[in-house]
Chains A and B, each alone.
Chain A
Amino acid sequence: MVDEDKLRDLKERIETAKSINTPLTKQNKESGAGFGFKISTEIIAALVVGVGIGLIVDKYLGTKPFGLIIFFIFGALAGFLNVYRVMRRIEKQ
């Protein structure tokens, strides 16, 4: 039948299309810039929170500048922790 020929032709075409496409999907990895962005936002976000808490503590407890200094360091450490967690999550995949 004509339909069967058509189907076989279609099947062949799908297979060739697949064989062309497979190597392309393998190299589908994230760009370096996107990766850097992810890491840097993690550090910045933790630092922003740390500095914010430090400033609030200083304002209400009158411990200027020690609250800022201590919570800045805590914020930086939390940033490293965030980066470590992101890296571990990526490694798992």
Chain B
Amino acid sequence: MASKGEKHSPLEQFEIIPFSNTEIAGYDISFTNSSLSMIITVAFITLFLTLTVNPRSLVPSRMQLVSELMYNFIATLLSDTVGNNGKKYFPFVFSLFMFVLIGNMVGMVPYQFTFTSHIIVTFALAAIVFIGTTILGFANHGIKFFSFFYIPGVPFYMHPLLIPIEVISYLSRPISLSVRLFANMLAGHTLLKVFAGFVVAMPFFTGVFPLVFIVALTGLEILIAFLQAYVFAILTCLYINDAYHLH
């Protein structure tokens, strides 16, 4: 539907459209299309998990099996990386994983906004993980947590060099965590839109080729959507593990 005067930038899909103009104490807290897709995601997760597990049948139905599969997936991930201590953090890691996964999947639905393609959203999630694991580290080890930046078995004159490097490496965790998810989603969705533009722009029937490519690319995007949620969850587990076992 190429009506006149409408711009067709591949980045147009990432535009935030406010549905209301709410402002509290100078902060813009309007309800936007991003908020809407987040609510859809949370509602979908809640309804799906509660409704499918509700029958509590010993021989699970297909949908109940999906829920149990996801539960098992995160439970084994946590016990493999953190061990027995990890059970406490299951609700946190599971909600994080489901939010990112279903958020990415909701973004794959045509006309639907992908909130994980905005760095502020992914950075907020990564900051929660980062601040949480840092507090956890201090709670477990107290002031000894700073020995995390001290590498034993290194000549003493190397420490002025190594400690800043370790600190920067630690501080870069939330950034690499958020940028990876954000960049993957942004790049994937932009690529889809660019190739969709080729379908219309190419002459005669040759537009079929980019169309076929888009179909393949959509499959790849769904794989990436899952993979990125998995990476987010496994890195959260590793950071929790670091808060327990320094090195």
- Across the interface, do A45 and B176 meet the contact criterion of CB distance under 8 Å? yes
- Across the interface, do A37 and B176 meet the contact criterion of CB distance under 8 Å? no
Cβ-based interface call for B135 (8 A): no
CB distance from B155 to the nearest CB of A (A): 17
- Across the interface, do A46 and B169 meet the contact criterion of CB distance under 8 Å? yes
CB distance from A13 to the nearest CB of B (A): 18
Which residues of B lie under 8 Å from residue A53 when comparing CB positions?
168, 171
CB distance from B107 to the nearest CB of A (A): 18
Assembly CA distance A62 to B41 (angstroms)? 48
Interface residues in A10-46 (C-beta closer than 8 Å to B): 30, 34, 37-38, 41-42, 44-46
* Total number of B residues with any Cβ neighbor in A under 8 Å: 17
Which residues of A lie under 8 Å from residue B169 when comparing CB positions?
46, 78, 81-82, 85
Cβ-based interface call for B50 (8 A): no
Cβ-based interface call for A48 (8 A): yes
- Across the interface, do B183 and A37 meet the contact criterion of CB distance under 8 Å? yes
Option from A38, A48, A50, A81 in Cβ contact (under 8 Å) with B180: A38
- Does more than half of chain A's interface fall in helix, strand or loop, or is it mixed? helix
- Across the interface, do B184 and A82 meet the contact criterion of CB distance under 8 Å? no
Assembly CA distance A74 to B170 (angstroms)? 12
* Total number of A residues with any Cβ neighbor in B under 8 Å: 22
Cβ-based interface call for B165 (8 A): yes
Which residues of A lie under 8 Å from residue B166 when comparing CB positions?
78, 81
Which residues of B lie under 8 Å from residue A44 when comparing CB positions?
175-176, 179
Which residues of A lie under 8 Å from residue B172 when comparing CB positions?
42, 45-46, 48-49, 75, 78-79, 82
Q: Which residue of A lies closest to B227 (CB)?
A: A34
Which residues of B lie under 8 Å from residue A48 when comparing CB positions?
172, 175
CB distance from B105 to the nearest CB of A (A): 18
Option from A30, A46, A85 in Cβ contact (under 8 Å) with B168: A46
- Across the interface, do B180 and A74 meet the contact criterion of CB distance under 8 Å? no
Cβ-based interface call for B164 (8 A): yes
Chain A positions within 8 Å of B, measured between CB atoms, are 30, 34, 37-38, 41-42, 44-46, 48-50, 53, 71, 74-75, 77-79, 81-82, 85
Supplied contacts A45-B173, A74-B164, A74-B168, 16 more A-B pairs, CB within 8 Å: A30-B227, A34-B227, A38-B180, A41-B179, A41-B183, A42-B172, A44-B175, A45-B176, A46-B168, A46-B176, A48-B172, A48-B175, A50-B168, A71-B164, A78-B168, A82-B176
